[in-house]
Structures are given as C-alpha cells and as structure tokens.
Amino acid sequence: MEQRKAIWRGGEDRQLWLSMLVDAMEEAARPEVRAKPCPPAVLLGLRAQLAQPVSHHPLATSAFGRRH
C-alpha cells in the first residue's frame, strides 16, 4: 500500500485523492473493520443522502469547478 502511495504521489497532485480513496476502501474491506457495527446516526445520514434525487450534472451544483 505504501508503495502505491509513492507511485501516485510521484504524479500530479490531483491524483492524491484517488490514492487516499483506495487506501480507505482497502481499510474498510478488512474483516475486522467490517465486523464492527455501524452507528445508527451514520446509517440514517447515509440513507438520507441516498434518498435524494440524482443530479445529472454533479459539477454544476458543486462549489468546485472542473479544474479541481
């Protein structure tokens, strides 16, 4: 995992978020992490977010432009 970070960080800075995402997904996939219960407040927040309508232009409603 550390080697992948070095490779990604050697490229453009904008790819750092991808490396961090991969690391977070790998951490979340570990059996000991998956075995832990999720707090009800987190589940409620996720359900509320998933219940919102899909935006066809997510960047148009974002505070960030395409250059970020």
Q: List Cβ neighbours of 59 (8 Å cut-off, separation of 6 or more).
A: 65, 66
At 28, list the tokens.
């979340």
Question: Within a 10 A sphere around the Cβ of 10, how many other Cβ atoms?
Answer: 8
pLDDT of 28 reads: 92
pLDDT of 55 reads: 74
Burial bucket for residue 22 (CB in 10 Å: 0-12, 13-18, 19+):
middle
pLDDT of 40 reads: 94
pLDDT of 54 reads: 81
pLDDT of 33 reads: 92
**What residues does each domain of the chain span?**
2-48
Q: Low-confidence residues of the chain, pLDDT below 70?
A: 1-14, 57-68
pLDDT of 12 reads: 67
Cβ proximity of 5 and 22 under 8 Å: no
